[in-house]
């Protein structure tokens, strides 16, 4: 029996590791996990849609959200802001549903300070060479930007110890299956269920 409370799932990892692809596949396969749409000041990539992939904001709009404390977390990455609107996250959890955040490593650290009971999953590339191939395959960044992303990625890999789980994204389908298994196991954790079963035991 599953508990009645939803919880926060945080998926992060180096840029280019495939966070968006894995989250997209997870959403198609698992209908009872909501997806938190982040806000960003970076320009949309081809095919990205407002309110689906991101809420695309100007720098002034984003900084207003920061000032009004409307973000669960935010970070500046390669001269662009990224952040998670807090209202949707809180509402989803209070409704008893799980919600997944696809965010950068900096943001995940801030979220853990506010939601220590969340599930933190680090998405790992098979290798740094493969990570570079994936970034280059986008065809959206200059060589200089790619070099900067790789430098940041090496630093981010060292932060893996702050996560509860590590999932290698060698194949999207396998990565999704691993994340599903983690979520299922977390719903069965004694700590999450003990209060519910105590209440059942008190019923005559």
- Report, as an integer, the average pLDDT of 171-188: 94
pLDDT at 1: 43
Q: How many helices and strands, by DSSP H and E, does the chain display?
A: 8, 9
pLDDT at 176: 96
Taking the C-alpha atoms of residue 80 and residue 58, their distance in angstroms, rounded to an integer, is 10
- Report, as an integer, the average pLDDT of 78-101: 89
Taking the C-alpha atoms of residue 16 and residue 75, their distance in angstroms, rounded to an integer, is 17
Judged by DSSP in three states, 53 sits in coil
Give the chain's mean pLDDT: 87
Residues with Cβ < 8 Å from 71, sequence gap 6 or more? 39, 65, 83, 84, 85, 86
Residues 38-83 pLDDT 10s: 899 999 988 899 988 889 999 999 999 999 999 998 888 878 999 9
> Residue for token digits 């000041």?
41
pLDDT at 182: 96
Q: Give me the domains of the chain, ranges plus CATH numbers.
A: 8-36+97-202 (3.40.50.300)
The end-to-end CA distance of the chain, in Å, is 20
DSSP 41: -
Residues 13-45 pLDDT 10s: 988 898 989 998 998 888 888 988 889 999 998
Residues 141-169 pLDDT 10s: 788 888 888 888 888 888 899 999 999 99
- Report, as an integer, the average pLDDT of 125-149: 85
Taking the C-alpha atoms of residue 139 and residue 128, their distance in angstroms, rounded to an integer, is 18
- Report, as an integer, the average pLDDT of 166-195: 90
């Amino acid at each position: 029996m599953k508990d009645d409370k939803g919880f926060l799932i945080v998926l992060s990892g180096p840029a280019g590791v495939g966070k968006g692809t894995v989250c997209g596949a997870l959403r198609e396969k698992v209908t009872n996990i909501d997806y938190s749409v982040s806000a960003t000041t970076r320009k949309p990539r081809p095919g990205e849609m407002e309110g689906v992939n991101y809420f695309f904001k100007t720098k002034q709009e984003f900084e207003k959200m920061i000032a009004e404390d409307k973000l669960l977390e935010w970070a500046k990455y390669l001269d662009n802001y990224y952040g998670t609107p807090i209202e949707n996250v809180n509402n989803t959890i209070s409704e008893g549903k799980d919600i997944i955040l696809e965010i950068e490593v900096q943001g995940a650290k801030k979220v853990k300070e506010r939601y220590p009971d969340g599930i933190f999953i680090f998405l790992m590339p098979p290798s740094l060479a493969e990570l570079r191939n994936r970034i280059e395959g986008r065809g959206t960044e200059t060589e200089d930007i790619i070099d900067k992303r790789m430098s940041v990625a090496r630093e981010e890999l060292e932060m893996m110890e702050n996560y509860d789980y590590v999932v290698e994204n060698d194949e999207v389908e396998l990565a999704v299956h691993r994340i599903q298994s983690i979520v299922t196991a977390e719903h069965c954790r004694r700590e999450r269920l003990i209060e519910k079963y105590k209440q059942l035991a008190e019923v005559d």
